[in-house]
Every structure is written in C-alpha cells, then in structure tokens.
Structure 1
Amino acid sequence: MGDAMGCECSRVSSDSAEERKTIKVALVLNLTMFVIGIVAGWAGQSTGVLSDALDMLTDAAAYALAWMAFSRGLAFKKNAARWTGGILVLLGAGIVAEVIRRWYVGSEPVGAVMLAYSILSFAVNLYVLMRLGKYRRGEVHMRASYICTRADVLANIAVFVSGGIVLVTGIRVVDLLVGFAIGLYVLKEAIEILREANSEGATA
C-alpha cells in the first residue's frame, strides 16, 4: 500500500511539475509576442495585428494566474479562471472600440507586416497549444489557458488571410473587419471560460 501511494504521489508531483513548465514557457512566449506585436501593429498601422498582440497580453495574464493557481485550492483556481474571463471581456470590448475609432480616423495597414507577424505568432501559439492540449480536460485554470490559446491560433489565421488580401489587393478595410471579428471572438471565448468556471463551482 505504501509503495502504491508513493508511486501515485510521485506521478501527481511529476504531472504538476510538467504543467508548471508548460505554463512558464507559454507565459514567456506570449509576453515576447505581445511586445513584438505592439511594435509591428503600430508600425504597420494594423488593427488586426494590434488586436492579436493584445490577445497575447491577455493570454500572458491568464498563464500568470494559472501559475499562481498551482499551489492554491479549488476556489482560487475557479477565481483565476473567472479573472481570465473578465480580462478577456475587457480586451474584446477594447478591440471593438479601437476598430470603430480607426474606422472614422482612418489607417493604412501594411500587408507585409501583417503577414510576417501572423506567421511568427501562429508558430508560437501552435507550439503552446500542442503543449496545453493534454490539459484541455484538466482542472479549470488549465482549461481556461487552453481556450485562450485556441482562440489565438484562429486569430493568427485571420490576420494572415487579411494581410494577404491587403498586400495583393490593397483593400485595407479588411484589416478593420478582421480586428472586429477578433474582438467578437475574444468575447465569445470569455463567455465560455466564465461558464466553465461557474460550472466547476456548481459541481464542486
């Protein structure tokens, strides 16, 4: 019995250590891509890239909360997921507001910048998503991290497509449409995370 319990404890400890490592890598990569995205977004005047970069910052916040949740109880983990959802709500609303502002003020997005950033961002997010995939049915704070990253991958694809359209056709309004769509999708993901956290609380 003692050996079985020791083996189980060792496995749990190993799983927890792997989760911590995964979240730490995701946090560092997302903060890096946020900085790169903000610079690229402003330089390239792209709402899509700026939206994607801000989404990276939100994910970094989600990963930081998940990191803090490892040594805490279930209540903290549920609250961490709720905070993640709340941050995503603010981000989604901010993206939509920025798109509306640029619709009236005007912008000149650079297709090549959009393509370059979206390719790099996609590679980073796909790597993180693959590492988080094994935890997509795990505890609520890990599920929230997975959902955030999944949204990023889809946003990267949207920015890539819009960047190609801008580069080839010069139709710049597509950048605003993509930025708006990302904002709405972020809000959808926020609702999903909040539902996950509330559902966890109801079954606990």
Structure 2
Amino acid sequence: MAKSCCETPKEDQTAHNDPRWRSVLWIALIANAAMFLVEMVAGVTAGSRALQADALDFLGDAANYAISLGVAGMALAWRARAALVKAASMLAFGLWVLSYAAYGFIAGADPEPQTMGVIGALALTVNLAITLLLFRFRSGDANMRSVWICSRNDAIGNLAVLAAALGVFGTGQAWPDLLVASIMAGLAIWGSLEVFRQARGELADTRPSF
C-alpha cells in the first residue's frame, strides 16, 4: 500500500520528538532573538551594513526555529511545507541584503571597524555554540537540514564580518563591509535553494502512488 502524505517514518518521527532536538531549538531561538537586538543596535551605531545584515539573519533564524518547534512531530509533508516557508524567507533575506549592499556602494558608507570586530566576535561565539549543538541533527529531513544550514551559514557569515572589520580598519574604506554583506546574501540565496530542492523532493515522496 502506498504511504499516505499524513504518515511519517517511525525513525523520522522519533527524531523530531526527541527532547534534545526541542531543547536545542529553544536555546537557538532565545540566543538568536537576543543577538538580533544586540547586533542591530550595534550595526546602526557603527554604520555597518554587514552587522545589520547579520542582525536580520539572526531575526530570520529565530523565526525559523520557532517554525521548526511548531511542526516538530508532525507528518513529513507538513515539515516539508514548513521548510519551503523557511527557504522562501532565506531567499527574501538574501535578495534584500544584496540590494542594501548595492545601495551602499552607490550612496556611500562609513562603518566603524572596532564595533564591527567586537560584535562580530560575539556573534561568532554564539553561532558556533549553536552549530555544535545542531551538528548531530544535520542529516535529517528538509526541516532539520534547513536549521543546520542556517546555523552553518551564520558561523561563516560571522567570520566574514570579522574579516570585513579588519578590511575596513586596514583600508579606511567601506567596501570590505559592503562586500561581506553581499557574500552573506549569496550564502542565504544558495542555502535557500538547497532547502527548496530537498523539501520539494520530500513532498513528492509523500504523494500517494497509484
């Protein structure tokens, strides 16, 4: 008999009902919400588009973790649909940051590298801790994978912010900050395409065959 779209493989269901998975999501949700506030204030104060872009990424991730908590334990089809929503948000974030960086190249910018470095290091510490907690869940379904990809991209983005801070400090110009914002946009777009592809495949697998 063909599997119903409402059925979920036993081992997959167990993974999503794992208290450790839920606990990690709650930790990630709270940490990302807090870092959004810290980094957005610092980004505006320092005039750094890279920090502001990273702050918005923290906000998007907090929303994604909330969605993951909401669908944990549901059927695979519903989790795949949630992953599609998260992939769309990642794509929207990437396109927005890319346009914001392009505006900075045209209008000009004057970021403050010391603040960028301090806040970038704090963000990297938080994201590395979350990424390590999520490492064991990186090979799950599209919903789990989207959480892993977001955290992985965040850690990479934080390293780029630190590099941008050094670049701004060394050159006295804004282009390293704007370049890093563009790279972060590219990571978000690439990650969204990965999640889209896997989620669509999972939805196709849950359709009944005749």
> Where do 1:74-89 residues align within 5 Å?
74-89=76-91
The residue that corresponds to 1:159 in the other structure is 161
Contact 2:17 2:73 in 1 (8 A): no
Per the TM alignment, residue 202 of structure 1 is displaced from its structure 2 partner at its CA by: 2.7
Percent same amino acid among aligned pairs? Answer: 29
| 2:66 alignment partner AA | A
Q: Under a length normalisation based on structure 1, what TM-score does the superposition of the two structures give?
A: 0.90
> Where do 1:107-126 residues align within 5 Å?
107-126=109-128
Contact 2:50 2:181 in 1 (8 A): yes
The residue that corresponds to 1:200 in the other structure is 202
The residue that corresponds to 1:175 in the other structure is 177
Contact 2:97 2:185 in 1 (8 A): yes
Higher mean alpha-carbon deviation, 70-79 vs 22-31, is at: 70-79
The residue that corresponds to 1:28 in the other structure is 30
The residue that corresponds to 2:6 in the other structure is none
> Where do 1:54-93 residues align within 5 Å?
54-93=56-95
**Which protein has the bigger helix share?**
1
Per the TM alignment, residue 61 of structure 1 is displaced from its structure 2 partner at its CA by: 1.3
Q: What are the superposed Cα offsets for residues 119-147 of structure 1, whole Å, 9 maximum, x if unpaired? A: 00101000000110100112321111001
Per the TM alignment, residue 14 of structure 1 is displaced from its structure 2 partner at its CA by: 9.9
The residue that corresponds to 1:133 in the other structure is 135
Given candidates 30, 35, 38, the residue that maps to 2:40 is: 38
Q: What are the superposed Cα offsets for residues 115-174 of structure 1, whole Å, 9 maximum, x if unpaired? A: 111100101000000110100112321111001100001100000011012123312211
Distance in structure 1 (CA, Å) of the matches to 2:16 and 2:139: 18
Distance in structure 2 (CA, Å) of the matches to 1:45 and 1:14: 41
Q: Under a length normalisation based on structure 2, what TM-score does the superposition of the two structures give?
A: 0.88
| 2:43 alignment partner AA | G
Per the TM alignment, residue 203 of structure 1 is displaced from its structure 2 partner at its CA by: 3.0
Equivalent residue of 2:66, what SS? Answer: helix
Per the TM alignment, residue 106 of structure 1 is displaced from its structure 2 partner at its CA by: 1.6
> Where do 5+ consecutive residues of structure 2 fail to align?
1-9
Distance in structure 2 (CA, Å) of the matches to 1:86 and 1:135: 22
Contact 2:64 2:86 in 1 (8 A): yes
Distance in structure 1 (CA, Å) of the matches to 2:15 and 2:195: 26
| 1:46 alignment partner AA | S
Contact 2:110 2:173 in 1 (8 A): no
> Where do 5+ consecutive residues of structure 1 fail to align?
1-7
| 1:114 alignment partner AA | M
Given candidates 185, 188, 195, the residue that maps to 2:187 is: 185
Contact 2:116 2:165 in 1 (8 A): yes
Equivalent residue of 1:36, what SS? Answer: helix
The residue that corresponds to 2:3 in the other structure is none
Change (3 A) 1:129 1:141: same
Equivalent residue of 1:138, what SS? Answer: coil
Per the TM alignment, residue 76 of structure 1 is displaced from its structure 2 partner at its CA by: 1.4
Give the count of matched residue pairs. Answer: 195
